[in-house]
Amino acid sequence: MATLYLDPPKPAAGEGDGKRVNKFTRPTPPPFTDDAQRARYQRGQLALAARIFSDAGWGVGHAIGLSARDAADPSVVWFVPRGRALNAVRSADLIGVDLAGNVVSGAGEPDGSYAPIHLAIYAARPDVHGVASGHTPHGRVFAQRAEAPKTLWQDSCIFHRRVGVLSFAGALNAAADPAPVAEAVKGDAVALVLANRGLLTASASIEGAVGLYLRLESLAHAQLLAEAAVRGRGGELIPVGEEEALFTQQNAGSAHQQWMMSLPHYTRLEKATGGPLVY
């Protein structure tokens, strides 16, 4: 039986530096009997991701980009098609594109404003299997400053030192010159601030990318509020300490935990549509 498509092997008992909280039973994706079943499930999760973003109110005018590397063929990336309403996307509508940007499956094409950025990330980071990007309300405002968010809350720690910044020109020219994108996501980055545009998140699964994006948009909103409230009174923001931030990230920042962050949103949509359907 196939292993989880989103998680690296777990360390054996006793490995690591010991700085971990108590273990607990975690939910896991369904098991898969073969790669074709795994890939079909993943395309369904990508279609549901489009509906989750629509449900958040981002269906029109927010330049949403969602994609997932094929679970069976890593040289193919599936995109939500250009011009399709997010709340109506089905897995049958998805567009398969190779890493060079050529359409290899499906009718239509992905949105050219974000597809080259996504493809550059997949080419630079074999560990990334899901990307989400958008010009969502608070991320769009935050992106005007072209800097990574501050680590101000426990919820921020998953992003601590893991958010890059991509210039407007770097995003605009990603198809011709993917090097700035690759530089921005090097190492273990899980997100980008797209200067003068919005936000982007990348994870080992499309579910993880969705969970990260929802949280990063919320944190952008929270930081804007905190700055207005605290600095408006002459105060200073108080960041989480470096040691505490890294400890929290170690215990709550894995690819599996990123996947779990999106579970409430997927579960709610599945219940609303009558069950765990594969679209």
Over the stretch 122-131, which tens digit does the pLDDT of each residue have? 999 999 999 9
- The verdict on residue 63 lying in a domain is yes
In the β-sheet with 163-166, what is the strand arrangement from edge to edge?
103-105, 95-98, 76-79, 65-69, 130-134, 198-203, 191-194, 163-166
Residue 241 makes CB contacts below 8 A (sequence gap 6+) with none
pLDDT tens digits, residue range 88-98?
899 999 999 99
Residue 182 CB burial class (10 angstroms; 0-12, 13-18, ≥19): middle
- The verdict on residue 29 lying in a domain is no
Q: Is residue 61 very low, low, confident or very high in pLDDT (cuts 50, 70, 90)?
A: confident
Using the structure block, give the residue that is written with the tokens 């994108």. 181
Supply 181's token pair. 């994108």
Q: Provide the number of structural domains found in the chain.
A: 1
Give CA–CA dist 82/95, Å, rounded: 9
Domain of residue 194: give its range.
35-269
For residue 120, the model assigns a pLDDT of: 98
CB-facing half-sphere around the CA of 130: CA atoms within 13 A: 30
- The verdict on residue 49 lying in a domain is yes
Percent over 90 (pLDDT), the chain: 75
Contact 166, 181 (CB under 8 A): yes
Give CA–CA dist 73/15, Å, rounded: 32
Helix (H, G, I), strand (E, B) or coil at 141: helix
Q: Residue 91 carries which DSSP code?
A: G
- The verdict on residue 73 lying in a domain is yes
- CATH number assigned to the domain comprising residue 133: 3.40.225.10
- Enumerate the H helices of 56-133 as residue ranges: 115-124
CB-facing half-sphere around the CA of 237: CA atoms within 13 A: 16
Residue 22 makes CB contacts below 8 A (sequence gap 6+) with none
Q: What is the mean pLDDT of residues 80-92?
A: 90
- The verdict on residue 176 lying in a domain is yes
Residue 217 in this model has a pLDDT that exceeds 50: yes
- Higher-pLDDT residue of 25 and 31 is 31
- The verdict on residue 226 lying in a domain is yes
- The verdict on residue 208 lying in a domain is yes
For residue 271, the model assigns a pLDDT of: 80
Contact 89, 65 (CB under 8 A): no
Prediction pTM value: 0.91
Give CA–CA dist 201/178, Å, rounded: 17
- The verdict on residue 7 lying in a domain is no
The least confident of 71-80, 118-127, 147-156, 265-274 is 265-274
